[in-house]
């Protein structure tokens, strides 16, 4: 940060205004007493100027020390969260008290952060373990449903898929802020990933009688298959949730942008700037009371980490277009 020396000079004068006033008063007293003692005016003026010159030398030195200390404090502001060892040496009892107070507050802050980090780490470990453990009964339920010869278990399959989706959402949420985020970047055919995601929701397309227009263009981009699949599945899930009739179209635009377009209920214009905020549901949240506002938030964070851009265009009752730009 650049130091404004003129502003610093006036700050210095403000801090030492009492000392300066005392010096002026004492110099005037000296001059008056000397004049009343019949000293010549030239001698009084010479002595006064000598005092002013000596004071100026000391003041310049003290101002330079003040400037250096201020600059040092500015420089270490970004390091104070790590250590207080680089604080300048105190000058006088009051500065010693201030530095002792700063160190006390800093140590207390580090202690609180340590407790908070430990609590957060324990919570993340618990939910990660829970998310992995819950997959076992989910897999068992899926096997039981598949082995059941009855034809009225379609709704059970749908609800089970939602549970699996929510578990994956929890795991993705936890992994995003982890130091061990398992990104494996390779060149993938994006439409191969899209087709796998579409197959996962094939029964919903059939159940809701929604047409799928899928571009078969081969398009390769540097990405992570698992994380990109999660993002695409979240977008497809939203499209299917809010599209009652019509179609969902997936195609390539401008040789670098994947477009997922639907004919659903759309998103209100005032909600569009906030759709990627965590927990924001807006108009669609009022439409679907179970909306969490987490899906698109995770999509944006994941795609940003992968180096991709995401944008949304929509109009109420006309549908929504989601664009994922792979051009780096």
For the chain, what is the domain count? 3
As a whole number, mean pLDDT of residues 245-269 equals 91
Residues 321 and 192 grouped into a single domain: yes
Residues 309 and 241 grouped into a single domain: yes
How many CA atoms within 13 Å lie on the side-chain side of 62?
13
- Compute how many other C-beta atoms are within 10 angstroms of the C-beta atom of residue 276: 19
As a whole number, mean pLDDT of residues 120-133 equals 74
Write out the DSSP string of 147-193.
Answer: H---S--HHHHHHHHHHHHHHHHHHHHHHHTSTT-----EEEEHHHH
As a whole number, mean pLDDT of residues 280-287 equals 65
As a whole number, mean pLDDT of residues 301-305 equals 90
At which of 51, 75, 99 does a domain end?
75
Say which CATH number the domain at 237 has: 3.30.565.10
Percent with pLDDT over 90 in the chain: 19
| Whole-angstrom distance, CA of residue 68 vs CA of residue 34 | 39
**What pTM, to 2 d.p., does this model score?**
0.61
Residues 152 and 191 grouped into a single domain: no
Which range has the worst mean pLDDT, 56-60, 165-169, 301-305? Answer: 165-169
Residue 136 or 83, more confident: 136
Per the CB < 8 A criterion, the answer to whether 59 and 51 are in contact is no
Check residue 201 and report its DSSP letter. T
Q: Which residues contact 141 (CB under 8 A, 6 or more apart)?
A: 160
| Whole-angstrom distance, CA of residue 109 vs CA of residue 115 | 10
Residues 147 and 261 grouped into a single domain: no
Residue 319 or 88, more confident: 319
Say which CATH number the domain at 142 has: 1.10.287
Q: Is the pLDDT of residue 111 over 80?
A: yes
| Whole-angstrom distance, CA of residue 286 vs CA of residue 245 | 20
Phi, psi of 7 (to 5 degrees): -65, -40
Q: Is the pLDDT of residue 15 over 70?
A: yes
- For residue 232, is it left (φ>0), alpha (ψ between -120 and 50) or beta? alpha
Which range has the worst mean pLDDT, 176-190, 232-246, 303-317? Answer: 176-190
**Max avg pLDDT among 74-88, 97-111, 205-219, 299-313:** 299-313
What does the CA dihedral 186, 191, 197, 201 come to, rounded to 10 degrees? 180
Roughly what angle, to the nearest 10 degrees, separates helices 5-15 and 17-36?
60
As a whole number, mean pLDDT of residues 44-63 equals 86
Check residue 79 and report its DSSP letter. T
pLDDT at 105: 82
- Compute how many other C-beta atoms are within 10 angstroms of the C-beta atom of residue 70: 15
Domain span at 17: 5-75
pLDDT at 211: 93
Residues 143 and 64 grouped into a single domain: no
Residues 228 and 318 grouped into a single domain: yes
């Amino acid at each position: 940060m650049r130091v404004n020396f003129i502003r610093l000079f006036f700050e210095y004068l403000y801090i030492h205004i009492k000392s300066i006033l005392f010096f002026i008063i004492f110099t005037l007293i000296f001059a008056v007493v000397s004049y009343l003692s019949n000293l010549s005016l030239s001698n009084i003026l010479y002595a006064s100027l000598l005092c002013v010159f000596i004071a100026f030398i000391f003041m310049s030195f003290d101002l330079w020390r003040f400037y250096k200390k201020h600059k040092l404090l500015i420089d270490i502001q970004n390091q104070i969260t790590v250590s207080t060892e680089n604080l300048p040496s105190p000058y006088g009892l009051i500065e010693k008290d201030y530095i002792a107070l700063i160190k006390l507050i800093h140590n207390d802050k580090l202690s609180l952060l340590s407790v908070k980090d430990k609590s957060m780490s324990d919570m993340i470990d618990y939910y990660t373990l829970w998310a992995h453990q819950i997959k076992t009964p989910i897999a068992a339920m899926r096997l039981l449903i598949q082995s059941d010869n009855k034809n009225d278990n379609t709704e059970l399959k749908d609800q089970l898929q939602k549970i699996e989706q929510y578990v994956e959402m929890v795991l993705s949420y936890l992994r995003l802020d982890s130091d061990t985020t398992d990104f494996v970047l390779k060149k993938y055919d994006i439409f191969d990933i899209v087709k796998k995601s579409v197959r996962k929701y094939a029964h919903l397309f059939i159940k809701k009688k929604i047409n799928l227009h899928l571009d078969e263009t081969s398009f390769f981009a540097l990405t992570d298959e698992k994380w990109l699949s999660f993002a695409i599945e979240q977008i497809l899930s939203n499209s299917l949730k809010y599209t009652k009739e019509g179609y969902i179209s997936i195609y390539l635009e401008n040789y670098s942008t994947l477009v997922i377009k639907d004919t659903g209920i759309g998103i209100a214009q005032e909600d569009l700037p906030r759709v990627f905020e965590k927990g924001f549901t807006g108009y669609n949240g009022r439409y679907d009371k179970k909306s969490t506002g987490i899906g698109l938030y995770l999509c944006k964070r994941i795609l940003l980490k992968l180096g991709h851009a995401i944008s949304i265009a929509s109009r109420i009752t006309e549908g929504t277009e989601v664009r994922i730009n792979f051009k780096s």
